[in-house]
Amino acid sequence: MDITKRDLSLIGIVGLVLFLLGNWAIAITDPVESNYTLTALEMMRSGDYVSPRIYGNYWYDKPAFFYWELIVAYKLFGVNEFAARFFPSVFGVLGLMMTYLFARKLYDRKTGLMAAGILGTCFEYWLLSKTVITDLTLFVFFDAVLIFFYLGYSTGKRSYYYLCYLFAGLATLDKGPIGLLLPGFILLVYIFIRRDFKEILRLKLPQGLLLYALVAGSWYYAMYTIHGMEFVNNFLGVHNFLRATQSEHPQWNVWYYYLMIFFLGCLPWSWTLPAVIRKYIKLKKRPELDMTGSFLLVWALVVNIFYQCMATKYTTYTLPALLPIAILIARYLYDREKLVKRTVGVMLALYAVLTFAVAVPACSNEGYSCKNVAAVYKDRVKADDLVVSYGDYKTSNVFYGDKLVYRLEDAKAIPGMLPDGKSWNAKNVMPFISFEELPEDKDIYLILNNRRFDSFEKDFNTAEWELLESFKNARVYYRKARQ
């Protein structure tokens, strides 16, 4: 076995242990993980692997690639937490291997190993490698676009550019048009900084865009053929354009948001970030950047600045910037190899402890997941029974309870909550039911958020409801059908 294969084997084994450890015991959480896991489950059960669906309705939040990953994992391991978290962990390992190979190509083996160790122990990278979310898949595809661009640009072997379009297509299948637009924007910024405008003509645009269209366009064309403008308006209009122009979480739309997130995400290596930036950007004179360092810095900065300009802020958006930062930190700490090794070793042990001491118990809390809540009624509920949720609607109830759950609201409020294609209400595709519509001839299970307990006592005849189980944040009640 040559030294590169040995290094990759070491990275693969350590990475898999780190990212897969405890996944079987970490409950699926709300609101994000449960949406993905339930959508993939409904796609698999329906036999329709093209159109994502949730609560029996078509769902245009994300493209299909990540759902396909989940379906494959379900078929391999069954429908459980380990299966749901399997591919994020696998892509986390692939990201480490990719970082090692790229850093080794740019510099040397030592830099590659240090960069992989630094990236794998960044808090955000570890966390997302265990989370049921699209971002680790996007990380690999998105960053592969930029890696193959730089390899083609720096070596003059422009056949690498075809791989850029291939991975941009895969990134678009995973997350949407951002898989092409943002890495494309980054490489254009880099070309403009170097004033090498002729390189734009060498990007193999006609052939490359055709390859991109074949890879990404097949699913989008199929969706448009099946669903028409409903898909276009919802997927592009709400989940892309609206997200970019209207904040879904206004409280986080502040100028320092991604500075804070990136600092926290880079822990325990965050202390090096000011020095790394200062090394490349000198305030008193025009920056003199080497070709490789400038590319890595542009990559990291543009990702953060781009998303800071978007209205909606999510903690995971800037993940692709961790790869170039990990390489830059490795170069900065190149002569402090013992420090890097000790830090990596300590963090590996710490993450193992955090998995079982924090992640497992925290995700089992019904404030984050309704696994325990659903267990109360799952084995009792019959086909004709009705399950309703009053208060904080949790998709994990549907996933774990294996029963459609209706969102209980006042009849006057429901029209203003339904999807309208123009606002964030487009995400409210769960079934609604009003108090007046609750049937008398069916057994009903009520999941009550404790914050709505006063309303429950006011709006219901509590004597008719049997308390089955009480939790810190929720209660489960049962009402027998009236004869």
pLDDT of residue 253: 72
Instruction: Clarify whether residues 255 and 389 are in a common domain.
Output: no
pLDDT at 104: 97
Answer yes or no: is pLDDT of 478 > 80.
yes
Confidence band for 284, pLDDT divided at 50, 70 and 90: very low
Residue 408 and residue 350 share a domain: no
Helix (H, G, I), strand (E, B) or coil at 390: strand
Q: Give the per-residue pLDDT at 296.
A: 95
pLDDT band, residue 180 (cuts 50/70/90)? very high
How many distinct structural domains can be found in the chain?
2
Predicted pLDDT at 171? 97
Other C-beta atoms lying within 10 Å of the C-beta of residue 439: 12
Which amino acid, residue 425?
A: N
Print the domain residue range for 241: 3-363
Same domain for 261 and 129?
yes
The pLDDT score that the predictor gives to residue 423 is: 66
φ, ψ of residue 75 to 5 degrees: the values are: -70, -30
Q: Are 332 and 394 members of one domain?
A: no
Nearest to 93 by CA among 17, 144, 40, 168: 17
Q: Mark which of 302, 333, 363 sits at the end of a domain.
A: 363
- Model confidence at 54, pLDDT cuts 50, 70, 90, reads very high
Instruction: Quote the tokens at residue 411.
Output: 């009849």
Condensed to tens digits (0 to 9), the pLDDT of residues 374-419 reads: 999 999 999 999 999 998 899 999 999 999 999 999 889 888 888 7
Residue 228, Ramachandran bin (φ over 0: left; ψ between -120 and 50: alpha; else beta): left
Statement to judge: residues 398 and 471 lie in one domain: yes
Q: What is the pLDDT of residue 428?
A: 82
Task: Find the mean pLDDT for residues 194-201.
Answer: 92
User: What would the pLDDT profile of 289-323 be if each residue is shown by its tens digit?
Assistant: 688 989 999 999 999 998 888 767 778 889 999 99
Which of the listed residues 319, 347, 363 is the one where a domain comes to its end? 363
Task: For residues 352 and 401, state if they share a domain.
Answer: no
In degrees rounded to 5, what are phi and psi of residue 129? Answer: -75, -10
- CB pairs under 8 A, 24+ apart, for 267-276? 267/122, 267/123, 268/121, 268/123, 268/343, 268/347, 269/118, 269/121, 269/122, 269/326, 269/329, 269/343, 272/329, 272/332, 272/333, 273/325, 273/329, 275/332, 276/325, 276/328, 276/329, 276/332
Instruction: Please say if the pLDDT value at position 152 is more than 50.
Output: yes
The two beta strands, 57-58 and 474-479, are unpaired
pLDDT given for residue 3 in this prediction: 94
pLDDT of the residue at 23: 97
Catalogue the long-range contacts made by 110-115 (C-beta closer than 8 Å, 24 or more residues apart).
110/334, 110/337, 111/327, 111/330, 111/331, 111/334, 112/7, 113/7, 113/11, 114/330, 114/333, 114/334, 114/337, 114/340, 115/326, 115/327, 115/329, 115/330
**pLDDT of amino acid 254:** 77
Q: Do 140 and 95 touch, CB atoms closer than 8 A? A: yes
CB count within 10 Å of CB 293 equals 19
| C-alpha angle 170-176-180 in degrees, rounded to nearest 5 | 65
- Dig out the tokens for 245 from the structure: 């122009």
The answer, yes or no, to whether residue 279 has pLDDT greater than 80, is no
Lowest mean pLDDT among 18-22, 56-60, 181-185, 209-213: 56-60
Q: Which residues face 246 on adjacent strands?
A: none
**CB-CB contact of 51 with 226 (8 Å):** yes
| Banded model confidence at residue 283, pLDDT cuts 50, 70, 90 | very low
Round the average pLDDT of the chain to a whole number and report it: 91
Query: Bigger pLDDT: 60 or 348?
Result: 348
The pLDDT of 276-281, averaged and rounded, is: 72
Cβ neighbours for 71, distance < 8 A, ≥ 6 positions apart: 40, 43, 44, 49
pLDDT tens track for 72-106: 999 999 999 999 999 999 999 999 999 999 999 99
d(CA 44, CA 53): 10
Domain boundary residue among 363, 380, 410?
363
Three-state SS for 48?
A: coil
Distance CA 191, CA 187 (A): 6
353 with 387, same domain: the answer is no
Pairing of strands 474-479, 444-449: antiparallel
Q: What is the pLDDT of residue 234?
A: 79
Which alpha helices (H) appear in 390-473, and where do they start and end? Answer: 395-401, 453-459
Residue of 317, 465, 468 lying closest to 401 (CA atoms): 468
Same domain, 132 and 160: yes
Do 430 and 357 share a domain, yes or no? no
Structure tokens at 351: 């993450």
User: Quick one: 82 and 181 in the same domain?
Assistant: yes
Residue 329's pLDDT is what?
96
Residue 460: pLDDT band with limits 50, 70, 90:
confident
Query: Beta 432-434 vs 405-409: how paired, if at all?
Result: parallel
Across residues 136-153, what is the average pLDDT? 97
Asked if 359 and 380 sit in the same domain, the reply is no
- Coil vs helix vs strand at 199: helix
Where does the pLDDT of residue 259 fall: very low under 50, low under 70, confident under 90, or very high at 90 and above? confident
Encode pLDDT of 325-350 as tens digits: 999 999 999 999 999 999 999 999 99
pLDDT given at position 247? 59
- Bridge-based pairing state of the strands 474-479 and 432-434: unpaired
Q: How far is it, in rounded angstroms, from Cα 258 to Cα 304?
A: 7
Q: Report the range of poorest mean pLDDT among 175-184, 229-238, 321-330, 410-419.
A: 229-238
Same domain, 342 and 465: no
